[in-house]
Amino acid sequence: MSDPVLSVNELTVSFGTRRGRAKVVNNFSYDVGEAETLAIVGESGSGKSVSSLALLQLLPTPPARVEGRALFRGADLISMTKSEIRGVRGNRVAMIFQDPMTSLNPVRTIGFQLMEPLKIHMGMSDTAARARAIELLDTVGIPSPGGRVDDYPHQFSGGMRQRVMIAMGISCSPDLLIADEATTALDVTTQAQILDEIRRLQEEMGLAVIWITHDLGVVAGIADRVVVLYGGSMMEESVIDQIFDERRHPYTRALLESVPVSGGDRPHRLKAIQGLPPDPTRLPPGCPFAPRCRHAVERCSNDAPRLRAPAEGHRVACHLDPADFHD
Amino acid sequence: MTETLLDVRDLRVHFPIYSTGIRRKEVARVQAVDGVSLSIGAGETVGLVGESGCGKTTTGLAILRLVEPTDGSVSFDGDEVGNLSKGELRKLRKRAAMIFQDPFASLDPRMSIGDSISEPLLIHKLFPDRNDRIDRTCQLLEKVGLSPNYRDRFPHEFSGGQRQRVGIARALATEPDFVVCDEPIAALDVSIQAQVMNLLEDLQDELGLTYLFIAHDLSAVQHLSDRVAVMYLGRIAEVADRSQFSAGLKHPYAESLLSAVPIPDPHLERTRERILLEGDVASPLDPPPGCRFHTRCPYATERCSNEEPSLRDLGGGHQVACHLYD
């Protein structure tokens, strides 16, 4: 692989709470390469959103404390000054959020909001920015963009708004796009349209994408590589096929087994994961998944497993070998 | 098929929209549900799927008369729900319960969960003695996999999955025959969804419940249901049982909906053909004439834009509303 676009090293994010420090992300390290899609998978509270908000300095500090490094094209995002990060955010690294209704300003037209980054980051004139805004709306598949550019967010449907968010994200031709549950709020048919759009844009622009989601189906369709997070720690990282085929980590395995697969003709009982995700203020001393793990041995609850590499490009944090799994 | 418990015929729910001002004139109607027919046998689970805004929740609410139907008939165990008096309706709601989507909004934050669960018992005067009522509440909590000691706790002390269990316990308090489950797992985490789905299945086996399972998640619906009904813009497009579903859905909308569901298998995802729908769902304020799907349908002919297709039986109870299958 050539030089990665983003290289995150030992990222740790914690929050001060009345019940003590909540460690939400623990020593999280990963790389994203050119034109690559990295999926970060996890349940709510696994730290997947917080870790990416921390990259763009979008967390209020305090209460948050961010440690570690995140090299974007050689420059560390975490230690940048406010004005430096402002030059990167929305310009070279863009982010799309889950809820397109709350992330658009309801009292400004779509055009105004699309033109804003163009004028700030690219120094475009009003007329040039407006022309580019219309072009962008066309790129993301909004019909008659010239007529829609002066509409307000409430005049768009959910899927359309998410397309506008994508248009805003790619407006300054970023190197990296972070999509945080970007299709979760949408219907499956709309989701399929948006995923297609992202794939197309990625091919055209050579964009690197971090796709944050809890939906393993979406991951299977869009990702090149997958990182599985649980309780703020990385459980497994690998190229897409290995994650699904080998299922080396018990959590990955349990997650894949707990979703119903449509097309199976005989109803089988789902293998649910018992228990609840851990409380970040009281993380277990060993592996965060140990209390819910079917295969856990004594060692798992005392000794946190380190990431090891069973194969090239595959990292797993588990004491056990799949051969030890007694299903 | 077993005895029919619920029979819905040509159900319509229209919401009028009024102009502003003193003389509130009706200016339009949202045709949320427009001619839905569906029957559910005792002990059966029927899944109702569709995109947001297709009228699936309104159908569920109208069946229990939690919204007043505009037209059509709903008969529950032989009784016409539309004709019931207030007192009789209360008796119906003892036998037909509902589990709501949002476990955060459907529980009163100022009531302990024990009180929430025992409220239906109080209303229906089922366990007049306080201690019996408490026993029953504890029993219900255990049934849904929560500790009876949680009785005095409040909703904010629970996670989403646990709250949904409380909602299920409350729905089961009066020992209903029929439960409408409106998106019971949509708000839950992936690892918790399976727990709740298994619980619903276990309870059905144990108590002989009949479910109407409303969801947008086709794979979850297919997993739980004996029959699946696909809705589009206020109408049913297709009804198929488990084997017909696996053999392939027929209606172009049902087909494309199924093909849009992402499959957690990268090999399949790379190779399978996807049917991408163009555009958005038409507005239920002004649904297109003829087949409501014809504006987005890849196979639409002229007939589709003029003539409304009716549900026809393709054999074995497999019903499709599409001119392609005439």
Q: Which two tokens stand for residue A88?
A: 């990167």
Nearest to B247 by CA among B228, B270, B269, B220: B228
pLDDT averaged per 10 residues in sequence order, chain B, 326 residues? 84 88 83 90 92 87 91 90 88 89 85 91 88 91 86 86 88 90 82 85 90 88 91 92 86 88 84 78 82 88 88 88 87
CB distance B276–A221 less than 8 Å?
Answer: no
Question: Has residue A2 got a pLDDT over 70?
Answer: no
Four-residue CA torsion sign, A212, A218, A223, A229: positive
d(CA B277, CA A193): 8
Q: Do A263 and B246 touch (CB under 8 A)?
A: yes
Find the CB nearest A265 among B52, B243, B274.
Answer: B243
CB contact under 8 A, A188 and B243: no
Phi, psi for B71 (deg, rounded to 5): -160, 165
Residue A227 pLDDT: 93
Condensed to tens digits (0 to 9), the pLDDT of residues A245-283 reads 888 888 988 888 888 775 554 556 788 888 778 887 888
Q: A 207-266 residues with CB below 8 A of B? A: 214-221, 223, 240-241, 244, 254-256, 258-265
CB contact under 8 A, A269 and B190: no
Q: Which fold has domain B4-320?
A: Rossmann fold (3.40.50)
Measured between alpha carbons, how far is B195 from B216 in angstroms, rounded to an integer?
Answer: 18
Residue type at position A134: I
ipTM of the shown complex: 0.77
Separation in Å, CA of B74 to nearest CA in chain A: 29
Distance, first Cα to last Cα, chain A? 37
Q: B121 vs chain A: nearest CA distance in angstroms? A: 30
Instruction: Tell me which long-range contacts A319-325 makes (C-beta under 8 A, separation of at least 24).
Output: A319/A287, A320/A250, A320/A295, A322/A246, A322/A247, A322/A248, A324/A295, A325/A250, A325/A253, A325/A295
Q: What is the 3-state secondary structure (H, E, C) of A113-158?
A: HHHHHHHHHHCCCHHHHHHHHHHHHHHCCCCCHHHHCCCCHHHCCH
* Residues contacting A132, CB < 8 A, separation 6+: A115, A118, A124, A171
Q: Do the beta carbons of residue A225 and residue A239 sit within 8 Å?
A: yes
Mean pLDDT of A110-123: 89
CB distance B34 to B236 below 8 Å: no
Q: Give me the torsion for CA of B242, B246, B248, B252, rounded to 10°.
A: 60
A326 pLDDT more than 70:
no
**A52-70 pLDDT, tens digit each:** 889 888 888 788 888 899 8
Are A221 and B280 a contacting pair at CB < 8 A?
no
Nearest CA in chain A to B270: A221
Nearest to B50 by CA among B42, B41, B58: B58
Q: How confident is the model at residue A156 (pLDDT cuts 50, 70, 90)?
A: confident
Please provide the average confidence, as pLDDT, over all residues in chain A: 85
Q: Which residue has the tokens 């009180």?
A: B115
Over residues A294-302, mean pLDDT: 85
A253: left (phi over 0), alpha (psi -120 to 50) or beta: alpha
Nearest CA in chain A to B146: A275
Model pLDDT for residues A206-229, shown as the tens digit of each residue: 889 999 988 888 888 889 999 999
Nearest residue on chain B to A267, alpha-carbon basis? B223
Cβ neighbours around A102 below 10 Å, total: 10
Tell me how many degrees the CA angle B39-B44-B49 measures, rounded to the nearest 5. Answer: 65
Q: Between the CA atoms of B57, B60, B66 and B69, what dihedral angle is there, to the nearest 10 degrees?
A: 100
Instruction: Name the band, by pLDDT with cuts 50, 70 and 90, for residue A327.
Output: low
Other residues' Cβ atoms within 10 Å of the Cβ of residue B209:
23
d(CA B177, CA B194): 23
Q: pLDDT at position B19, please?
A: 84
Q: Which two tokens stand for residue A219?
A: 């991951």
Interchain contact, B257 vs A261, CB within 8 Å = no
Calculate how close chain A gets to B84, using CA atoms only, in Å: 37
Residue B2 has a pLDDT of 67
Chain A residue with the nearest C-alpha to that of B277: A189
Decide if A214 and B190 are in contact by the 8 Å CB cutoff: yes
Does residue A193 sit at the B interface (CB-CB below 8 Å)?
yes
Determine the Cα–Cα distance for residues B252 and B254; give it in Å rounded to an integer. Answer: 6
Q: What's the rounded Cα separation, in Å, for the pair B310 and B237?
A: 9
End-to-end Cα separation, chain B, in angstroms: 25
Residue in chain A lying closest to B264 (CA): A217
Nearest to A326 by CA among A299, A296, A302, A303: A296
Residues of A within 8 A of B194 (CB-CB) are: 258-260, 270-273
* Nearest CA-CA partner of A159 in A205, A105, A196: A196
What residue type is B298 in one-letter code?
A: P
pLDDT at A299 over 80: yes
- Decide if B280 and A190 are in contact by the 8 Å CB cutoff: yes
Q: Which of B104, B147, B188, B189 to mutate to test the interface with A (most CBs of A within 10 A)?
A: B189
- Ramachandran quadrant class, B72 (left: phi over 0; alpha: psi -120 to 50; beta: rest): left
**Pairwise CB contact (< 8 Å): B269 & A271:** no
What pLDDT sits at residue A122? 84
Residues of B with CB under 8 A from a CB of A: 51-52, 159, 161-162, 189-195, 197-198, 201, 216, 218-220, 222-224, 242-243, 246, 256-269, 274, 276-277, 279-280
CB pair distance less than 8 Å for B268 and A157 = no
Helix (H, G, I), strand (E, B), or coil: what is residue A64? Answer: strand
